[in-house]
């Protein structure tokens, strides 16, 4: 049992291991740039929602960076599927699609958590105090699972790399900028507010920020995240089935 899950994870982690240095280095750069530009740039002269801006920003960066990493498995899956056809090995093996999705999702979560740990390290350097409790872990696990399964869904639906880039440009990047990672969404005009509350990242950023800064966690948002996670898990399964045409 679970040999499908194990196999997928064995493959992904071993491939990761060989590129770990490069990957970690690459994923550590962009949050650092944001921290230098906005964190030091604004410093503590700016307060947002009653928090120094850098304290507001770091949970947003955690949400953004872990999303980038978890969702980022889409690109790897794409290469696996279209260039090297390694994905066929999974489809030919006597393993269920559920195991493939869970294995890939676990890998995405692993990458998301790694980037989270990295930003925790930054928060020490920038001497920002964060509260890391069980609610935070619940939030970040749900968050990374939901974006990993979204990544699997997209990777299975697109026809090539070009499609993948289009999705990133028109969906993922706008979402990252609009979902309250860098500024509170409640400042947005009403029309935009509707739009951003339809995006899963808005909810997970709010929950992650609340857990880390000792604020109140809105359970409805956590529930919505769970809903998104369940939905994307199902779309990932459906998308893999579709690959077999």
Partner 1 sequence: MAVTETVKQVKNVLEAEGLVKRFGSKTAIDGIDLRIREGDFTGLLGPNGAGKTTTIKALTGLVKPTEGKVHYYGNDFLRHPMEAKRFIGVVPQQSNVDRDLTAYENLYLHSILHAIPRPLRRGKIEESLEFAGLQDYRDRQVKTFSGGMKRRLVLVRALLHEPKILFLDEPTVGLDPQIRKNIWELILKINQQKGMAILLTTHYIEEAEKLCRSAYIIDKGKIIVEGSPDDLKKDMGGYVLEVFLEDRVEEEFFSSKDDALARLKECGHACKIRQVTLEDVFIKLTGKRINV
Closer CB to partner 1, 187 or 241, in the complex: 241
The partner residues of 52 in beta bridges, in order of sequence, read 47
Q: Quote the least distance from Cβ 243 to partner 1, whole Å.
A: 9
* C-beta closer to partner 1: residue 3 or 218: 3
Residue closer to partner 1 (CB basis): 12 or 205? 12
The helix/strand/coil state of 47 is strand
CB of 230 to partner 1, least distance (A): 25
Neighbours of 65 (CB within 10 A): 24
For the record, the structure tokens of 56 come out as 């507001």
Task: Output phi, psi for 207, to 5 deg.
Answer: -65, -45
The closest of 200, 196, 199 to 187, measured between CA atoms, is 196
Taking the complex as a whole, the smallest distance from the CB of residue 17 to partner 1 amounts, in Å, to 9
Residue 221's nearest CA partner among 120, 229, 114, 213 is: 229
Q: Among all chains, which residue has been given the structure tokens 């998308």?
A: 239
Rounded to whole angstroms, the Cα distance separating 242 from 157 reads: 8
Q: For partner 1, which is the closer residue by CB, 91 or 217?
A: 91
Q: Name the residue nearer to partner 1 (CB basis): 129 or 241.
A: 241
d(CA 141, CA 7): 22
Q: Quick one: 27 or 66, whose CB is closer to partner 1? A: 27
CB of 84 to partner 1, least distance (A): 6
Smallest distance, Å, CB 111 to partner 1?
16
Shortest distance (Å) from residue 241 CB to partner 1: 9
Nearer to partner 1, 83 or 189 (CB): 83
Q: Write phi, then psi, for 183 (nearest 5 degrees).
A: -150, 155
Instruction: Identify the residue whose tokens are 């953004």.
Output: 64
The binding site for partner 1 (CB under 8 A) comprises: 3-4, 6-7, 10-11, 14-15, 18-19, 84-86, 88-96, 244-245
How far is Cα of residue 4 from the mean position of the Cα atoms in its chain?
A: 23
Q: What's the min distance (Å) between Cβ of 245 and partner 1?
A: 5
> How far is C-alpha 225 from the geometric centre of its chain's CA atoms?
12
């Amino acid at each position: 049992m679970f040999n499908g899950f194990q196999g997928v994870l064995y493959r992904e982690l071993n491939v990761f291991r060989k590129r770990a240095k490069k990957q970690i280095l690459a994923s550590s750069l962009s949050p650092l740039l944001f921290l230098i530009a906005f964190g030091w740039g604004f410093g503590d002269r700016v307060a947002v929602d009653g928090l120094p801006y850098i304290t507001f920003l770091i949970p947003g960066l955690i949400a953004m960076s872990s999303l980038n990493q978890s969702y980022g498995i889409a690109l790897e899956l794409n290469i696996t599927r279209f260039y090297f056809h390694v994905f066929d090995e999974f489809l030919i093996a006597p393993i269920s699609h559920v195991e493939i999705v869970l294995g890939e999702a676990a890998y995405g979560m692993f990458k998301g958590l790694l980037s989270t740990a990295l930003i925790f390290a930054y928060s020490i350097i920038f001497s920002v105090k964060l509260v890391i409790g069980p609610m935070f872990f619940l939030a970040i696990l749900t968050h990374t699972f939901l974006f990993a399964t979204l990544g699997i869904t997209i990777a299975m639906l697109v026809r090539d790399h070009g499609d993948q880039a289009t999705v990133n440009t028109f969906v993922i990047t706008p979402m990252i900028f609009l979902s309250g990672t860098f500024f509170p969404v409640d400042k947005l005009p009403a029309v935009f507010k509707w739009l951003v509350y339809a995006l899963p990242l808005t909810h997970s950023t709010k929950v992650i920020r609340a857990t880390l800064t000792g604020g109140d966690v809105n359970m409805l948002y956590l529930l919505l995240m769970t809903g998104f996670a369940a939905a994307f898990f199902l779309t990932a399964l459906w998308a893999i089935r579709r690959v077999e045409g």
